[in-house]
Amino acid sequence: MKAVLFDLGGTLVQYYDRSQIPQVLEEAITAVQDYLRQRGLLRVSPEEIWQGVTKENHEASDYCVRPLEGRLGRIFRLAEDASSSALLEAMCRRFVEPIFKRARRYDDTLPVLQRFCSAGYKIAIVSNTAWGSPAPLWQKEIARHGLDRLVDTAVFCRHIGWRKPAPQIFAHTLEKLRVRPEACLFVGDDPRWDFFGPGEVGIPAVLLDRRGTMQDVTDKRVQDLYEFWDRLQTGESGQGRRRRDK
């Protein structure tokens, strides 16, 4: 194996779980609403805003990215000639701020990534972004957590216009790393995007089950990244020993 592909949220950095999505979305939309109000640009009522949120709160069935800028423009009914790129960029920053404030890098992230670097593996982050938010915001986010210096590339859905599990995002990553699917391994915490998705394009995958709640999905699971590293080194298919950096 030459390369390891990692999901971001729930794998390397904790943001929120599914039960918290409604609350996080409310915080994000409220942050944008407050920003527009402060600038005197808010032209819609709270009721109209949340009607718009309900309409926009879905992803495309074919996994094509629905960019955040367009969704916010429709929610807040910004005329195209009045919504400059600078304004939309600022709105997107306000949207992701509540998400980034929740972030906590997992304790095993840096030690294990450093092990892979030292061992000569190519490393990539392959991630969707919340509500199709712009990739540059997430590039800064991984730098904030010190991940940019440990990975060869970071591919976000906005880079190519397709969300996991669409094959395009995996193919793009393989091309950037110059490796074949069978020479990679994907690790992530969501069965839909990070286990079955890579498998469809020939990339073997391991499911990161930090809470021990996905026993029924597959036996190709690990509890943390230390165990993931150990299993690669020993070649075991079952549970590996768990090491801890002192």
The CA-atom distances, in angstroms, between 149 and each of 45, 73, 77, 140, 222 are: 44, 35, 40, 12, 25
Residue 240 lies in a domain: no
Would you say 182 and 202 are in contact if contact means Cβ atoms under 8 Å apart?
A: yes
Residue type, 95: F
Region class of 63: left (phi > 0), else alpha (psi between -120 and 50), else beta: left
Cβ-Cβ contacts under 8 Å for 111 (sequence gap 6 or more): 226, 245
Residue type, 152: D
Domain count for the chain, please give it. Answer: 2
Residue 246 lies in a domain: no
- Give the structural domain span for 74: 18-101
What CATH number is attached to the domain comprising 191? 3.40.50.1000
9 with 112, same domain: the answer is yes
Choosing from 68, 101, 134, the residue where a domain stops is 101
pLDDT tens per residue across all 246 residues of the chain: 899 999 999 999 999 998 999 999 999 999 999 999 999 999 999 999 999 999 999 999 999 999 999 999 999 999 765 568 899 999 999 999 999 999 999 999 999 999 999 999 999 999 999 999 999 999 999 999 999 999 999 999 999 999 999 999 999 999 999 999 999 999 999 999 999 999 999 999 999 999 988 888 888 999 999 999 999 988 743 333 333 443
Tokens of 125: 């982050």
Would you say 221 and 242 are in contact if contact means Cβ atoms under 8 Å apart?
A: no
Residue 9 lies in a domain: yes
